[in-house]
Amino acid sequence: MQQQRDRIDLTGRDYRAIYALSDIHGCYNAMMEAQKRIVEDASTLPGRKLLMFLGDYVDRGPHSSDVLSQLCAPAPEGFDRYALCGNHDDVFLRFLDDPEANRHWLDFGALPTLASYGIDAKELLAEGQSIEGLRDLTLEAMPPAHVDLLRSLAGAVTMGSLLFAHAGIRPGIPLADQTDEDLMWIREPFLSDGPQLPLLVIHGHTPGDDPVFGHGRIGIDTGVSMGGTLTILKIADGKQMILS
């Protein structure tokens, strides 16, 4: 059984600006272009900056392996970086730990992820490869650092009245009582009701054509893997804005 993912408290850290991205879903080129824009924007700001990734690095898009490699590399100079776990990242790890119980991942956008490691899962299964054998081939193809990264991804990050989570929170429930499933999977009633706590929740998970500035929440999944864009949210001087 997996342990609860970390809840990290950065309250008191003095960051000149925070930049948040979510739901990269294997779109490595978009990720690198966004990171370039962030570094350029931050170049005129003194002090440390914070780079927040809100989860769902894998599945759907073509370059999940490259995305994970980038998250394993050092953060850009002048930045601290934290990466949260999304539901797709969690299901991928669960497949690696128990493939039979999590074979549904193969219908959850997994095939492009496996292909990014050189594995044609559809062909292998058609040829009679077992689900456990497919897992074993995946682990052989993956750099160990990628597995370690998936295990280390945090569940949430707080910073004063800001809370970063992949999907959101159960309204009105303190963070200590939120489950990983809440943080990675929730939609309603959070999307309609907001956090019902004195917090501003920054999240992804639920895609839309545009970022959503809702009641106590900002949703920044704009469906880059489905033909949309990779939204960059910038928080500086107490203001939230979309970096264009």
Give the fold, CATH level 3, of 7-242.
Purple Acid Phosphatase; chain A, domain 2 (3.60.21)
Rounded to an integer, what distance in angstroms lies between the CA atom of residue 72 and that of residue 198?
Answer: 33
Q: Do 203 and 54 contact (CB within 8 A), yes or no?
A: yes
Q: Do 16 and 236 contact (CB within 8 A), yes or no?
A: yes
Tokens 């128990």 found at:
98
Token pair, residue 101, equals 């119980």
Which helix or strand (DSSP H or E) is residue 164 part of? Answer: strand 162-165
Token pair, residue 90, equals 């969690």
Rounded to an integer, what distance in angstroms lies between the CA atom of residue 180 and that of residue 89?
Answer: 12
Edge-to-edge strands, sheet with 156-159: 7-9, 156-159, 162-165, 200-203, 217-219, 212-214
What's the mean per-residue pLDDT of the chain?
98
In this prediction, residue 142 carries a pLDDT of 99
Token pair, residue 22, equals 């979510």
In this prediction, residue 122 carries a pLDDT of 96
In this prediction, residue 244 carries a pLDDT of 79
pTM of the model: 0.97
Tokens 């897992």 found at:
135
Q: Which residues of the chain, if any, have pLDDT below 50?
A: 1
In this prediction, residue 2 carries a pLDDT of 65
